[in-house]
Amino acid sequence: MADRIQEILSWYSSDNAGTKTNIARLLRSGRLGGTGKLVILPVDQGFEHGPARSFAPNPPGYNPLYHFQLAIEAGCNAYAAPLGFLEAGASHYAGQIPLILKLNNHDVLNDEKDPLPSVTGSVGDALRLGCSAVGFTIYPGSTHCHTMYEQLRAIAEEAKKGGLAVVVWSYPRGSGLSKEGETAMDVVAYAAQIAAQLGAHVIKVKLPTDHLEQAAAKKVYESAQVPIKTLAERVKHVIQSSFDGRRIVIFSGGAKSDDKNVFDEARAIRDGNGFGSIIGRNSFQRPKADAVKFLQTIMKIYAGETP
């Protein structure tokens, strides 16, 4: 298992020892530590969607300490959240789980077609809170995407100098895309490539459908006969698009869904050589005991302990 972690670290040869140590910490923590797979708990939904929509289905979730406890008890590799939630609990749980500070966020009180998240935290905040990584969202397809790319470039440079890993949420969205196009095969693969080119160590994207959004890309997919019929094939293509598998790519859990569907998606991610999942609402919107069991089932799938 250690050989797998060393192989992954070799992909980041330009990074300093501090950053490599923090990437290794993400990969060596929790139930899946040492396997090269990740299950991360993200709880930015209170900011992104509102408190009731996020936490009313399971009221203990209003308490920021609850999410630290859930991530630790389930054996997650890391816990990701905005500044406020991490400040509320980082000292209580110092050293117990790697933390990822989400440095930009977007609310839906003014849910514009072309979103531009606000920068809501800093690399200094991440270092002060003992984080292993910073997280940043970009929206390829938004008319404001160039601003986000430039913000990320500056933040990634500062984070790497400080020895932190960089996790990029790359979510295609905006007036340049149809709703179906946000999860189209060609668009998701493009979004992963953009995040990799912007210096991400870990890339988070949504699971792609077999829809092809761009006419020029569709011609290439069809002429080159790129296999995208099954979800596992589509995952494999996203991994291929992320420097031929030389960047860590994890997939969003999305809105709360049927458990069987989530487990089937985890199997497809595993079979497509994906690196794991980042699952928020599907976990914290249920009682903690159920959430722990749910997350550990996903971990067993990634560990190869269950078919």
Q: Which residues are catalytic?
A: 204
**CA geometry: angle at 32 spanning 184 and 290, to 5°?**
80
Burial 99-108 (b: 16+ CB within 10 A, else e): bbbbbbbbee
Q: How far apart are CA 131 and CA 124, in angstroms?
A: 10
Q: Which residue has the tokens 């609990």?
A: 89
Tokens of 7: 């192989």
Closest CA to 169 of 146, 192, 151: 192
Distant-in-sequence, close-in-space partners of 259: CB < 8 Å, separation ≥ 6: 294
Nearest to 65 by CA among 95, 50, 98, 43: 43
How many CB atoms neighbour CB 14 within 10 A?
A: 8
Distance between CA 40 and CA 135 in Å, rounded?
12
**Alpha-carbon dihedral of residues 215, 192, 276, 240, nearest 10 degrees?**
70
Residue 300's identity, in one-letter code, is K
Alpha-carbon gap, residue 158 to 194, rounded angstroms: 19
Write out the two tokens for 13: 């040869």
